[in-house]
Amino acid sequence: MRHLSTSLPKYRVCLRTLLFVFAIAILNFAGAQTLNAKVDAINEQIDRDRKAYAHFMMGLIFDRQREPDKGIAEYNKALEYNEGASWIYLRIAQDYLNLNEFANAMQYIDKALQANPQSVEAHALLAYIYTFKKDYDAAVVEYEKIIELDPEDKIALSSLADILVFQGKNEKAIDVYERLLNQVDDLPILYFNVGLIYLHIEDFDKAINKFDKALELDDDFVPAYLSLALISEIQGKSEQAIFYYEESLKRDPLNINVYKQLGQLYIDKKDYKKATIQYELVLKLYPEDTSSYITLAYLYADEKQLDKSVEILKKALEENVAQLDRIYITLATIYQQQDTNDLAEAAYKSAQEINPESDLAYFYLGVYYETNNKREKAATQFKAAIEINPDNADALNYLGYMYAEEGINLKEAVKMLNRAIEIEPGNGAFIDSLGWIYYKLDNLDKAHELIEKASSLIKDPIIFDHLGDIYFKKGQIEKAKESWRKSLEIDPDIEGVEEKIERLNR
């Protein structure tokens, strides 16, 4: 029995060892199975990635060939092997954008954001779509999300600032630009853009500061010179404006608009010789510029060089510039100054032949006829001008006033002048004409009210002559004399006014 008892533990030890070895074997077998499964899974994933990559690259190739439909098909095949790839959704969205299929594009952008909520590119595409669709509030939200994800995204900051400017949210736009300038302080365009905002809100000192900063960074930044010139004009600093325009021309000598602006500044200063030089330079650079021929012709006329006016306008005709009817109208006015009336009438008619829809050609020929006491012909021309352009306030005024002078069609004349004043409410001449019609209708109170108002708007000898006539008819003799004297102060040669005062003094 002892023998059995002593051998039993040995047996148990042996059994335990066998069980341990067996357990190890089982574990090794299971581990091998798991490892093989992992290897198989990895190989399968590599194969899926390889296929996804192949289709993705084919999609890119079709995109480069500008075949977005085929690109979309390849990208969708890539998604079959890698459905969580946000960049593949974005490529499909981009192709739908290229096809102008915005709804489909937004659907895939949403999928891209589901796969990667932090995708800056997805928010950028949404911002683009909303901007294109003019949903600017939604675009702002997307740009703000981009900036939240990447506070140094310069494109997002710049685009956000542009939209805010477009929305008229200038203060917010300035804040965004300042954030951008904290990151990039060496780009003149950024300072210039902020300067434009300050210019728009008429904070000229800050605008000047930003434009100056742009020029510190780039002395050849022409838009800054032009903006500084504009501010100088607004502030009435013509010499400073001229300086900035000239500085811009040193860097961009072919900008005809700057020569024109300089010419206008010199006209305002009554320095017609320098103005003439500017417009002559314009025509050397751009011989087709209709408006410069016209301006130059009037400048020569102001200098009593009517022959040169005619010469420059004939040159415009030889150049066959655009809007030849305007050239003929100007030529006609110069002929009138030369007292060559036949040529003037012919020029007006040439303007009408070239452009039968030019209400101005009919209007100015009407003025010509009225000036030469051909009132029936004048009325015909004014009516034609109004038929072409019912909003030609000058033609309405001329015809209505002419009726008043003749004492005919007065009710129609009232309608004409009311329409003219509706078009130009602050035009003193029109208000005077309406008042004169009421004078002819013997409505003195209404006439007085209107012509008094007209006299407060413009100092015109005819208006004060009319006011004197109203006072005279109302029996207010001293006020009549006073008004007629004001008329003579403005124009001592006005016809008939001095005789009215003399008759009263007898």
Question: Got the DSSP string for 325-355?
Answer: HHHHHHHHHHHHHTT-HHHHHHHHHHHHHH-
Residue 2 has pLDDT above 50, yes or no: no
- What average pLDDT does range 154-163 have in this prediction? 92
Longest CA–CA separation in the chain, Å:
176
Q: In sequence order, which ranges of 150-187 are alpha helices (DSSP H)?
A: 154-166, 170-183
Report whether 434 contacts 404 (CB < 8 A).
Answer: no
pLDDT band for position 43 (50/70/90)? low
pLDDT band for position 84 (50/70/90)? confident
Superfamily per CATH, domain 185-250: Tetratricopeptide repeat domain (1.25.40.10)
Q: Is 388 exposed, middle or buried (0-12, 13-18, 19+ CB in 10 A)?
A: middle
Cα separations (Å) of 114 from 52, 90, 117, 441?
19, 12, 6, 80
**218-251: burial string, b at 16+ Cβ within 10 Å, e else:** eeebbbbbbbbbbbbbeeeebeebbebbebbbee
Side chain identity at 480, as an amino acid letter? A
Share of the chain above pLDDT 90, in %: 81
Q: What is the pLDDT of residue 129?
A: 93
Those residues with Cβ within 8 angstroms of residue 471's Cβ, 6 or more apart along the chain or in another chain: 477, 479, 480, 483
Say how many C-beta atoms besides its own lie within 10 A of residue 188's C-beta. Answer: 21
Length of the chain: 506
pLDDT band for position 33 (50/70/90)? low
Residue 160 has pLDDT above 80, yes or no: yes
> What angle, 0 to 180 degrees and rounded to 10, lies between the N-to-C axes of helices 222-234 and 256-268?
20
pLDDT per position as a tens digit, 218-228: 999 999 999 99
**Spatial separation of the C-alpha atoms in residues 237 and 362, rounded to whole Å:** 40
Nearest Cα to 299, choosing from 277, 320, 315? 277
pTM of the predicted model as reported, rounded to 2 decimal places = 0.74
Q: What is the pLDDT of residue 74?
A: 87
Say how many C-beta atoms besides its own lie within 10 A of residue 453's C-beta. Answer: 15
Q: What is the pLDDT of residue 405?
A: 94
Domain extents for the chain? 185-250
Residue 45 has pLDDT above 80, yes or no: no
Those residues with Cβ within 8 angstroms of residue 416's Cβ, 6 or more apart along the chain or in another chain: 396, 397, 399, 400, 403
125, two tokens: 């595409």
pLDDT band for position 12 (50/70/90)? very low
- What average pLDDT does range 64-73 have in this prediction? 90
pLDDT band for position 333 (50/70/90)? very high
- Position of tokens 């150049």? 319
Nearest Cα to 424, choosing from 452, 399, 396? 396
Residue 305 has pLDDT above 80, yes or no: yes
Q: What is the pLDDT of residue 78?
A: 83
